[in-house]
């Protein structure tokens, strides 16, 4: 992955350029500045050639990658040597020890010049000769045989046909079908196109496959052929003449044009002008993997999103492709269902595996082997399935390719926390903090990453995931491009290959057997990233990551450690640390001057401890603990720099000082309020950028909130167990930018809440979870922009105020485990709104379930059992008495 290697080397340069050593800095300026200029030029050329897959370009990319890796190794090894040298010997030995380093860098610069010239020549030839090639799926209205037989998606087929033939919409309509590669977009379009009713409804039907690279002339000839007017004479006309002829041939006709496999907005813009607007019900059916293309081309801003097959639909398709109309042998049914289920609803994968099984040995042992090793079967097949999905990777812009390949560090079927993913991308240098979430959105829009869980309050994506087939693609390409080594049950690359990887990911299903492999792992001194997704601390010691002095990313959040490994503090290049343990961190953490992210998860509930020296790490962006004691900075100590880059700080076990003076740019702050250790919460004056605040209380906090002043920048507040009187709610209601308010486990208490007019001007989400509130005297003017109301465990609440239903922006009311009368009031609000023509309000009601005991059954058997019991009892008493 040449682009990622160049990014990494460029970032290494910037870290060095900030070096404060006055002996080194002049040398850095003189020796490294040409390097930066050439890296920027190479990065630009790589971006321009990102979709050129010629062997010439591949060969150059390998040279660039290896050159960048070599230069980076030279620089960083040299830097570590400088850091370990004492000031007394720095000046004396500096020139001697850097001669070799700078000689190597001069060689790299010379090689860069050669590479730049070669890339420019290739790009020049590409503009003239390497024009896109157009490939056509089929050229007539007849169905292409078995390809159009569709299992599942019956509802999709009906919806598309209805939209195509909707006579109420006479204007030309474009209907996009969007979904990941292999989901069945083209098959659905073929079924629609070959439907007799559709053929009868439209005067002219034409199909054109656009693909990634296309020629307008080829498309024009295909369209004219399908329209039925193409002759040898017309073939000789110019492009402009062909465009005009296509337009005139369609003018006045009710036409259906299928544009299959559109990859860019430019392609749509180039072609859609050929189709006239005649207000006669003409339609364009467009298939694409890209959501932005679908949204851009859609006439109604509504595209048709293809979903995955259900388990039963997957099974039916599987059976059809293996045995046709015949039934599966009974002994293969269970294992067959397991195989079809593990295809995760992707039709293309089901078809590929089913056809493999149809051609091969149909013994139970063979099928069980396929079921057990499905991932390795997928990874080892070079067929239409993998080629089709590889196109999605090839089409990515250069800056998104490393982000996609990096997804292989996570195990199969793993729900990836978005916050963890974007922090890792930033630490790896793939994206700036301001860009990372946008990159994720782009990959989701390209249907390469799937949305997992969304926040109940704001709908923001909390987790994401990948289909196994796409994940296998990312792991395979990452291995081929020397980008990432994944050790798991299905990836068993030779140890000598692993030793060259910059990134190493260990999964919990990996084999820990071979001693030869362990030795190789321990010698991987050039590894920059170590991500351990295992579960056993014992096996972790097989991988000697402590010896990787150039390590930047260390993520072991998947395994609970018995202690914080002090050896980590010797890895001076670390930018990202994520571990699970109760941590007492030593003062030597100041050696980690590049550290940006420190995440410590701990299930014990005991607060971890940070040293006062933590204030000497100015590059810190995220400090995130389950619970942590952060000592106050020393007063009037000029050697302690404020953490101006710090954006996340949680969960603090103390706040006895003005945090805003030391970390003025905080955006997220979490506090565990302990009345014994915390004196007040009045330290928010300087937090002008704070957006998210979460406070968990150990004791009632009425007195704490009497004089509290919260920053107006707050957008989201979560409070737990504070037991604040409702009269203090105006403190939060007066915040001008507050959008989400979550009140959990008696955050507020009292029988009555009377909101103040003018409060909560921008509040969108209100959650009240467990309270003794009985009467809520709210009106629609109190929450003018409320969209989502959630009430849980509000067992005393008499009703939801009817005026809440009059809020124009309200979309959802959720009420769960609350009083039956409150649930009834929610339903009544919905009914009243429907009677007024508002069908958009959704109510989800789950009232408190009263435990119902089953009626006592007392029949003949029960009577005889009871009679027998008393007979034995009387007999025992009689015996005891006499």
Q: Is the pLDDT reported for residue 806 higher than 90? A: yes
Written in H, E and C, the secondary structure of 119-186 is HHHHHHHHHHCCCCCCCCCCCCCCCCHHHHCCCCCHHHHHHHHHHHCCCCCCCCEEEEEECCCCCCHH
Q: Tell which CATH classification among 3.40.50.720, 3.80.10.10, 3.60.21.10, 3.50.50.60 matches the domain 573-714.
A: 3.80.10.10
Cβ pair 431, 425 in contact under 8 A:
yes
Q: What does the pLDDT read at residue 676?
A: 63
What is the Cα–Cα distance from 147 to 54, expressed in whole angstroms? 31
- If pLDDT is split at 50, 70 and 90, which confidence band does 324 have? confident
The structure tokens 């000497």 sit at: 616
The structure tokens 């390719």 sit at: 401
Q: Is the peptide bond before 562 cis (omega within 30 degrees of 0)?
A: no
pLDDT tens track for 275-303 = 999 999 999 999 999 998 998 888 777 88
Q: Whole-structure pTM over 0.75, yes or no?
A: yes
Reference 664, options 632, 642, 633, 631; nearest CA is: 642
Q: What does the pLDDT read at residue 764?
A: 95
Q: Which CATH class is domain 145-305?
A: alpha beta
What is the Cα–Cα distance from 626 to 603, expressed in whole angstroms? 8
Written in H, E and C, the secondary structure of 73-102 is HHHHHHHHHHHHCCHHHHHHHHHHHHHHHH
Which residues, including other chains, have CB under 8 Å from residue 795's CB and lie 6 or more apart?
817, 818, 819, 848
Q: Is the pLDDT reported for residue 386 higher than 70? A: yes
Name which residue leads in pLDDT, 301 or 687: 687
Cβ pair 530, 545 in contact under 8 A:
yes
Q: What does the pLDDT read at residue 646?
A: 94
3-state DSSP assignment of residue 624: strand
CATH topology of domain 386-483: Arc Repressor Mutant, subunit A (1.10.10)
Residue 271 belongs to what H/E stretch? Answer: helix 265-272
pLDDT tens track for 542-589 = 555 666 888 999 999 888 888 888 889 989 899 999 999 988 899 999
Question: Contacts by 822-827 with C-beta closer than 8 Å and gap 24+?
Answer: 822/791, 822/794, 822/797, 822/798, 822/847, 823/847, 824/799, 825/799, 825/800, 826/800
What is the Cα–Cα distance from 179 to 177, expressed in whole angstroms? 7
Q: What does the pLDDT read at residue 525?
A: 77
User: Is the backbone of residue 680 left (phi > 0), alpha (psi -120 to 50) or beta?
Assistant: beta
pLDDT tens track for 173-199 = 999 999 998 888 999 999 999 899 999
* The two structure tokens encoding residue 837: 């023509």
Q: Is the pLDDT reported for residue 50 higher than 90? A: no
3-state helix, strand, coil in the chain (%, to 5): 45, 15, 40
Cβ pair 735, 712 in contact under 8 A:
yes
What is the Cα–Cα distance from 807 to 267, expressed in whole angstroms? 44
What is the bridge-based pairing of β-strands 416-417 and 463-465?
Answer: antiparallel
What is the Cα–Cα distance from 277 to 873, expressed in whole angstroms? 96
What is the Cα–Cα distance from 614 to 517, expressed in whole angstroms? 37
What is the Cα–Cα distance from 220 to 161, expressed in whole angstroms? 26
3-state DSSP assignment of residue 564: coil
Cβ pair 822, 797 in contact under 8 A:
yes
Q: What does the pLDDT read at residue 454?
A: 85
What is the Cα–Cα distance from 336 to 367, expressed in whole angstroms? 7
Cβ pair 500, 482 in contact under 8 A:
yes
What is the Cα–Cα distance from 184 to 179, expressed in whole angstroms? 8
What is the Cα–Cα distance from 54 to 61, expressed in whole angstroms? 11
What does pLDDT average to over the chain?
82
Beta strands of 538-655 (E only): which ranges?
553-560, 576-580, 597-601, 608-609, 622-629, 648-652
Q: What is the DSSP letter of 461?
A: B
pLDDT tens track for 121-165 = 887 665 544 444 333 333 333 334 344 566 778 889 999 999 999
Give CA torsion, residues 3, 7, 10, 12, to 10 deg.
-130
* The two structure tokens encoding residue 550: 């150039």
Say which range, 630-644, 712-726, 783-797, has the weakest mean pLDDT: 630-644
Cβ pair 652, 626 in contact under 8 A:
no
Q: Which residues pair with 272 in a beta bridge?
A: none
* The two structure tokens encoding residue 509: 């299903």
What is the Cα–Cα distance from 792 to 58, expressed in whole angstroms? 58
pLDDT tens track for 210-222 = 877 778 888 899 9
Residue 814 belongs to what H/E stretch? Answer: strand 812-816
What is the Cα–Cα distance from 250 to 668, expressed in whole angstroms? 58
pLDDT tens track for 248-271 = 999 999 999 999 999 888 888 888
What is the Cα–Cα distance from 476 to 491, expressed in whole angstroms? 9
What is the Cα–Cα distance from 401 to 49, expressed in whole angstroms? 13
What is the bridge-based pairing of β-strands 304-305 and 553-560?
Answer: unpaired
Q: What does the pLDDT read at residue 149?
A: 62
Q: Which CATH class is domain 2-128?
A: mainly alpha
């Amino acid at each position: 992955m040449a682009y990622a290697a160049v990014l990494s080397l460029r970032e290494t340069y910037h870290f060095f350029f900030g070096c404060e050593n006055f002996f080194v800095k002049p040398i850095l300026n003189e020796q490294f500045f040409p390097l930066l200029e050439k890296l920027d030029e190479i990065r630009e050329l790589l971006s321009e050639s990102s979709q050129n897959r010629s062997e010439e370009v591949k060969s150059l990319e390998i040279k660039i990658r290896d050159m960048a890796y070599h230069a980076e190794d030279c620089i960083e090894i040299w830097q570590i040597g400088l850091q370990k040298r004492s000031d007394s010997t720095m000046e004396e030995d500096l020139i001697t020890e850097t001669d070799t380093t700078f000689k190597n860098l001069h060689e790299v610069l010379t090689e860069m010049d050669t590479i730049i010239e070669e890339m420019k020549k290739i790009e020049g030839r590409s503009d003239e000769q390497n024009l896109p090639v157009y490939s056509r799926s089929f050229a007539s209205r007849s169905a292409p045989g078995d390809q159009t037989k569709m299992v599942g998606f019956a509802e999709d087929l009906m919806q598309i046909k209805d939209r195509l033939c909707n006579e109420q919409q006479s204007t030309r309509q474009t209907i996009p079908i969007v979904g990941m590669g292999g989901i069945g977009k083209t098959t659905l379009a073929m079924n629609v196109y070959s439907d007799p009713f559709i053929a009868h409804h439209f005067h002219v039907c034409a199909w054109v496959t656009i693909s990634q690279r296309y020629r307008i002339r080829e498309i024009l000839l295909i369209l004219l052929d399908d329209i039925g007017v193409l002759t040898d004479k017309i073939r000789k006309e110019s492009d402009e003449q062909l465009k005009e002829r296509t337009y005139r041939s369609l003018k006045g006709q009710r036409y259906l044009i299928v544009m299959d496999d559109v990859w860019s907005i430019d392609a749509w813009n180039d072609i859609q002008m050929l189709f006239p607007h005649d207000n006669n019900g003409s339609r364009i059916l467009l298939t694409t993997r890209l959501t932005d293309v679908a949204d851009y081309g859609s006439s109604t801003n509504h595209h048709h999103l293809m979903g995955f097959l259900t388990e039963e639909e997957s099974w039916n398709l599987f059976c059809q492709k293996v045995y046709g109309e015949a039934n599966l042998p009974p002994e293969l049914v269970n294992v067959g269902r397991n195989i079809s289920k593990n295809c995760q609803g992707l039709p293309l994968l089901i078809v590929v595996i089913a056809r493999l099984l149809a051609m091969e040995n149909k013994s139970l042992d063979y099928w069980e082997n396929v079921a057990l090793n499905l991932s390795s079967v997928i990874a080892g097949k070079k067929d239409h399935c993998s080629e089709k999905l590889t196109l999605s990777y090839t089409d990515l812009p250069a800056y998104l390719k490393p982000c996609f390949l990096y997804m292989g560090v996570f195990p199969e079927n793993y729900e990836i926390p978005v916050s963890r993913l974007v922090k890792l991308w930033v630490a790896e240098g793939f994206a700036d903090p301001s860009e990372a979430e946008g990159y994720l959105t782009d990959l989701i829009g390209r249907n390469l990453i799937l949305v997992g869980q969304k926040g109940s309050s704001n709908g923001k994506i909390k987790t994401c995931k990948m289909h196994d087939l796409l994940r296998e693609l990312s792991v395979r390409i990452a291995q081929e491009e020397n980008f990432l080594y994944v050790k798991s049950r299905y990836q068993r690359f030779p140890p000598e290959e692993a030793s060259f990887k910059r990134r190493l990911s260990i999964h919990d299903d990996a084999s820990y057997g071979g001693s030869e492999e362990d030795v190789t792992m321990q010698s991987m001194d050039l590894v920059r990233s170590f991500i351990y997704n295992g579960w056993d601390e014992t096996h972790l010691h097989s991988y000697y990551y402590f010896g990787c002095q150039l390590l930047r990313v260390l993520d072991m959040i998947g395994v609970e450690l018995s202690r914080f490994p002090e050896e980590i503090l010797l890895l001076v290049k670390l930018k990202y640390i994520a571990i699970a343990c109760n941590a007492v961190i030593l003062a030597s953490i100041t050696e980690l001057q590049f550290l940006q992210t420190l995440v410590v998860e701990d299930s014990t509930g005991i607060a971890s401890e940070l040293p006062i020296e933590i204030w000497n790490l100015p590059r810190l962006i995220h400090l995130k603990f389950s619970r942590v004691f952060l000592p106050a900075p020393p007063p009037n100590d000029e050697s302690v720099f404020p953490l101006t880059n710090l954006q996340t700080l949680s969960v603090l076990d103390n706040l006895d000082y003005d945090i805003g003076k030391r970390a003025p740019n905080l955006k997220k702050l979490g506090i565990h309020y302990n009345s014994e250790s915390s004196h007040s919460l009045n330290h928010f004056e300087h937090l002008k950028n704070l957006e998210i605040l979460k406070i968990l209380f150990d004791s009632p906090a009425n007195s704490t909130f009497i004089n509290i002043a919260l920053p107006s920048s707050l957008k989201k507040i979560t409070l737990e167990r504070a037991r604040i009187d409702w009269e203090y709610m105006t403190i939060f209601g007066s915040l001008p930018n507050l959008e989400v308010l979550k009140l959990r486990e008696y955050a507020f208490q009292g029988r009555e809440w009377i909101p103040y007019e003018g409060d909560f001007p921008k509040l969108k989400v209100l959650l009240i979870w467990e309270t003794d509130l009985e009467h809520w005297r709210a009106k629609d003017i109190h929450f003018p922009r409320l969209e989502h109301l959630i009430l849980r465990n509000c067992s005393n609440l008499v009703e939801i105020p009817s005026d809440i239903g009059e809020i124009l922006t309200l979309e959802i009311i959720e009420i769960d485990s609350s009083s039956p009368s409150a649930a009834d009031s929610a339903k009544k609000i919905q009914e009243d709104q429907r009677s007024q023509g508002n069908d958009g309000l959704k109510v989800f009601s789950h009232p408190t379930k009263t435990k119902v005991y089953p009626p006592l059954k007392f029949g003949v058997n029960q009577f005889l059992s009871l009679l027998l019991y008393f007979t034995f009892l009387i007999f025992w008493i009689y015996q005891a008495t006499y």
